[in-house]
Amino acid sequence: MASSFTRNAVVLGLLSAVGPFAIDMYLPALPAIAADLHATTSATQMTLIAFFVSFGLCQIVYGPLSDVYGRKLPLYGGLTLFILGAIGCAFSPTIGWLIAFRFLQGIGAAMGVIPRAIIRDLHTGAEATRLMSLVMLVFSVSPILAPLTGSALIVPFGWRAVFVAVGVAALIALLLLAFLLPETRPAHERIPGSIRGVFGNFGELLQDWHFLGLTFIGGLGISSFFAFLSTSSFVYIGHYGLTPTQYSMAFSINAIGFIGASQFAGFLGGRFGMGRMVMAAVSAYASFAVLLLALTLAGFDSLRVLIPLLFVSFAFLGLVIPSTMVLSLENHGRIAGIASALGGTLQMVAGAIITGVAGLFFDGTSLPMVATVAAASVAALVLSLVTLRKKELKPVAAGSGTG
């Protein structure tokens, strides 16, 4: 049991990591891409936004497909598209072609929403949060290793080598899927494939305010991290003068906090209740983000202030995201793929919009990035107060179950 739990966590984590790896690994290359392809900063950021948009929108297709045809077949298709997109990115002659192939990559990477449904197939409650946290542990290694690997490739081989590497990573994920992951949606549990039925299920979810609230609590947190992703290389390298390698190390610090905290989500959720833990974590996340904004506005424009406070903020975010994902699917096991897809789509579209707005105000300093993170965190806190029910905020009675 333990070995299969760990195996599933590793494979699902690697499948989920394909998309983040394609983002994080090329972040150090953004300035080099802009210079090599003679593109503006905003045009270069469009390669990231295009990926976010297709990644978010296409999840809404993969979810229903996984409920109708099983989990593995859509995963195969998505990985294949991702590999083709990676090849196109590696040979793109202009920024326009790079944006187009990044969009294709995002379509393929959208299959990463399916592992959420697989987790719901296997577990619920605190146990599901434990598996979700282990999955996040695996794919969260990406923000640590991917920028460092990207920097190591960019210096001797150029930015195009990054896309060769992500294509190889996707091929490895394809092999692991084929040989190590069982099908968790047997034929007798699949839903009918009618368009009317699928839209009916989407309508059911869109009328569930609790589902939507939990989705956007996590989505606002993810959006704040996306805003950080899209501007951090320009701030750290352009504003603070770090080298790509130094930037990768500074960037990785945030991932360490996120990873470390996420591993306690299952334990804390079982001990204190999932709702109470989310409320406390969102409150702390917002408090530190607002503190960082206040210090930045007061003139403390320093990495010694920025890095530690982002570390703590994103650490608390590491408790929020896996927990809200699990809670949002708790009552929707029958249509877990569709629920995962809709939740993922809403979160990614919100992330793309917030990232795009943040890009409009980017001035080369840390202030727009910090302000975006703080605004998203406060919005998540307000939504938590509205969404979480009184029964979810009650202490867990001693000896009570957590499933």
- Amino acid letter, residue 59: Q
- Residue 109, pLDDT score: 92
Q: How confident is the model at residue 401 (pLDDT cuts 50, 70, 90)?
A: very low
Q: What is the 3-state secondary structure (H, E, C) of 244-293?
A: HHHHHHHHHHHHHHHHHHHCCHHHHHHHHCHHHHHHHHHHHHHHHHHHHH
Q: How far apart are CA 99 and CA 51, in angstroms?
A: 8
399 located within any domain: no
Q: Give me the percent of the chain exceeding a pLDDT of 90.
A: 32
- Residue 398, pLDDT score: 41
- Residue 394, pLDDT score: 60
400 located within any domain: no
Q: What is the CATH number of the domain that holds 174?
A: 1.20.1250.20
Neighbours of 240 (CB within 10 A): 17
310: its two tokens: 């982002």
Q: How confident is the model at residue 96 (pLDDT cuts 50, 70, 90)?
A: very high
Q: How confident is the model at residue 400 (pLDDT cuts 50, 70, 90)?
A: very low
185 located within any domain: no
Q: How far apart are CA 4 and CA 2, in angstroms?
A: 6
What average pLDDT does range 40-60 have in this prediction? 84
What pLDDT digit, counting tens, does each position of 170-179 carry? 999 899 999 9
282 located within any domain: yes
117 located within any domain: yes
- Residue 92, pLDDT score: 94
120: its two tokens: 């719901």
Q: How far apart are CA 336 and CA 192, in angstroms?
A: 14
b/e per residue 65-91 (b: at least 16 CB within 10 A) = bbbbbbbbebbebbbebbbbbbebbbe
- Residue 391, pLDDT score: 52
Angle (CA) 190 196 202, round 5°: 75
Question: Does the pLDDT at position 390 exceed 70?
Answer: no
- Residue 399, pLDDT score: 39
What pLDDT digit, counting tens, does each position of 221-255 carry? 988 888 887 788 889 988 898 887 788 788 778 77
- Residue 142, pLDDT score: 63
Backbone angles phi, psi at 120, to 5 degrees: -65, -30
241 located within any domain: yes
Question: Does the pLDDT at position 137 exceed 80?
Answer: no
264: its two tokens: 């306690």
- Residue 311, pLDDT score: 93
Residue 371 belongs to domain spanning = 2-179+193-389
25: its two tokens: 């690994």
Most confident of 242-246, 288-292, 301-305: 288-292
Q: Give me the percent of the chain exceeding a pLDDT of 70.
A: 90
Number of structural domains found in the chain: 1
For CA atoms 86, 88, 93, 94, give the dihedral sign: negative
What average pLDDT does range 168-197 have in this prediction? 84
Q: How far apart are CA 221 and CA 279, in angstroms?
A: 13
Q: How far apart are CA 26 and CA 105, in angstroms?
A: 13
Question: Does the pLDDT at position 261 exceed 90?
Answer: no
Query: Looking at per-residue confidence, does 256 or 239 come out higher?
Result: 239
Query: Nearest CA to 169 among 190, 146, 147?
Result: 146
What pLDDT digit, counting tens, does each position of 151-174 carry? 788 888 888 998 998 899 899 989
Query: Looking at per-residue confidence, does 263 or 67 come out higher?
Result: 67
Query: Looking at per-residue confidence, does 396 or 290 come out higher?
Result: 290
299 located within any domain: yes
395 located within any domain: no
Least confident interval from 141-145, 342-346, 367-371, 377-381: 141-145
Question: Does the pLDDT at position 386 exceed 50?
Answer: yes
152: its two tokens: 């190591």
- Amino acid letter, residue 334: R
